[in-house]
Structure 1
Amino acid sequence: MSAGAFLLIIVAALVLFGPKKLPELGRAVGRTINEFKKATRDIIEDRPEAEKVEAAPVNEAPKQEDRRLPE
């Protein structure tokens, strides 16, 4: 994001909410982002161990006994 775009967002926020409501709005946004990050971390940590381990490569050559046709 360029400095001009960031400045435009700040000016628009000041016009819309006023300077007295801006700190309260910033705290609310910060809390929301922190809650989202915490929930994301919790979901990742709750995954079963089987999903965390990387799967075996798909392009492995089949074993000799696997190449036979079914009888």
Structure 2
Amino acid sequence: MEIAALLFLLLLLPSFIKTIALHLLFFDFGSGEILLIVLAAFLIFGPSKIPEIARGLGKFINDIKRASEDIKTEINREGDRQDREKRLAEYKAKVEQDLKPNEEGASIQRPIKKD
């Protein structure tokens, strides 16, 4: 019932308040708490300041999301780079091992004679 009331409230509210309410849902606020926050914002800031505050809050949240994605991307790049370096070192060691003269092979090779 609480979710239905919240969805109905979101349909009635202007879009800037919907944005705030949807972000508050992620922090596990109930519909009563969200309504209380919206009413307090109206009383404190007045209806003319609410859109400006909502825009600023939206920009702040988007900046946080963008920074979080940048950090995740950088961590993944670093992990991939370390994996590539490790595989390259293993491959290099294997190639060097394969190119080393083998003692077994040296005993069965005939000496090269000059004609």
TM-score bracket for this pair, using the shorter chain length: 0.5 to 0.7
**For residue 22 of structure 1, what is the amino acid of its counterpart?**
I
Output the CA distance in 1 between the equivalents of 2:30 and 2:73: 35
TM-score (norm 2): 0.42
Identical positions, percent: 39
Output the CA distance in 1 between the equivalents of 2:38 and 2:63: 24
Match of 2:36 in 1: 8
Match of 1:63 in 2: none
TM-score (norm 1): 0.66
Q: What is the aligned-residue RMSD (CA, Å)? A: 1.8
Question: When you count helix as a share of all residues, which structure comes out higher?
Answer: 2
Per-residue deviation, residues 17-66 of structure 1 (Å, max 9, x unmatched): 0000000100000000000100010011011116xx8xxxxxxxxxxxxx
Task: Could you list the structure 1 runs, at least 4 aligned residues long, displaced by more than 3 angstroms after superposition.
Answer: none
Query: Of the two, which has the highest radius of gyration?
Result: 2
- 1:27 aligned onto 2:64: no
Higher RCO (C-alpha under 8 Å, 6+ residues apart) = 2
Output the CA distance in 2 between the equivalents of 1:7 and 1:18: 15
* Structure 2: runs of 5 or more not aligned: 1-28, 84-115
